C-alpha cells in the first residue's frame, strides 16, 4: 500500500532551497549598468559582485537542470486537497518558474557572448570567447542584456508570489504545503 507523503524528499528540499538562495543572492548582487561599464573597458574579473553574480547564475542553472533530472526520478510528491483553480495556479506558477530558472542564465550567456564580454567565475575561471554564442543567429533577436534584466525581475516577482502563497497556505489554510518543503520533524516517543 502506498502511504501519502506529507513532505518532499530531502533531495528535492535541498535543491529547492539552494536554488532559492542562489537566485536571490544573484539578484541582489546584480550589477547595475554592467554593459556600459564593460564598453568603457571595465574588467568584470576585478569586481567580486560581478564574479559572484555570474557564478551564482550558473549555479542556479546547474541546480535547475539537476532538479529536472531528479523530478523524473524522485519519489512521489506530497498531494494536498485544494480547489481546482488553486491547483492550476500552482502548476502554472511552478511551470513559469522552471522556464525562468533556465531562461535567466541563458539570456545572460547570450548577452555576454553576443557583446564579446567574458564570463567570469569564482576560482579565477574566465571564458573570454564564446564563439558558439557570438556567431549564433539568436544574438541578433533582441538586446539580451535588457532581456536578462527583465527576466531577472520577473523571476524575483514570481518567486515572491510563490513565497506569499506558501505563507498563505501555512497561516490561513493550515494545510501543510509550506511544511512539505521543510525537513520533517521527528516525532517524540
Q: How confident is the model at residue 189 (pLDDT cuts 50, 70, 90)?
A: low
Summarize the confidence of residues 103-124 as an average pLDDT: 93
Percent of the chain with pLDDT over 90: 70
pTM assigned to the model:
0.89
The reported pLDDT for the residue numbered 2 is: 47
- pLDDT tens by residue, 158-181: 999 999 999 999 999 999 999 999
- pLDDT tens by residue, 2-35: 446 789 999 999 999 999 999 999 999 887 777 7
Classify each residue of 170-189 as buried b or exposed e, where b means 16 or more C-beta atoms within 10 Å of its C-beta: eeeeeeebbbbeeeeeeeee
Which residue(s) pair with 127 in the sheet?
119
List, in order of start, the domains of the chain with CATH numbers.
Answer: 10-31+43-79+89-181 (1.20.950)
Amino acid at each position: 500500500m502506498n502511504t501519502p507523503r506529507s513532505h518532499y524528499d530531502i533531495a528535492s528540499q535541498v535543491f529547492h532551497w539552494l536554488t532559492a538562495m542562489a537566485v536571490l543572492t544573484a539578484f541582489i548582487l546584480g550589477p547595475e549598468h554592467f554593459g556600459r561599464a564593460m564598453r568603457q573597458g571595465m574588467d568584470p574579473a576585478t569586481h567580486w559582485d560581478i564574479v559572484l553574480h555570474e557564478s551564482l547564475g550558473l549555479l542556479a542553472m546547474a541546480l535547475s537542470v539537476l532538479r529536472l533530472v531528479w523530478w523524473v526520478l524522485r519519489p512521489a510528491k506530497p498531494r494536498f486537497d485544494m480547489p481546482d483553480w488553486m491547483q492550476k495556479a500552482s502548476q502554472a506558477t511552478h511551470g513559469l518558474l522552471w522556464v525562468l530558472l533556465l531562461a535567466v542564465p541563458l539570456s545572460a550567456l547570450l548577452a555576454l557572448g553576443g557583446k564579446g564580454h567574458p564570463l567570469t567565475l569564482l576560482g579565477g575561471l574566465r571564458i573570454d570567447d564564446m564563439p558558439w554564442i557570438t556567431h549564433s543567429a539568436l544574438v541578433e533577436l533582441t538586446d539580451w542584456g535588457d532581456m536578462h534584466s527583465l527576466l531577472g525581475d520577473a523571476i524575483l516577482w514570481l518567486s515572491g508570489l510563490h513565497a506569499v502563497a506558501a505563507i498563505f497556505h501555512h497561516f490561513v489554510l493550515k494545510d501543510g504545503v509550506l511544511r512539505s518543503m521543510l525537513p520533517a520533524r521527528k516525532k517524540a516517543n
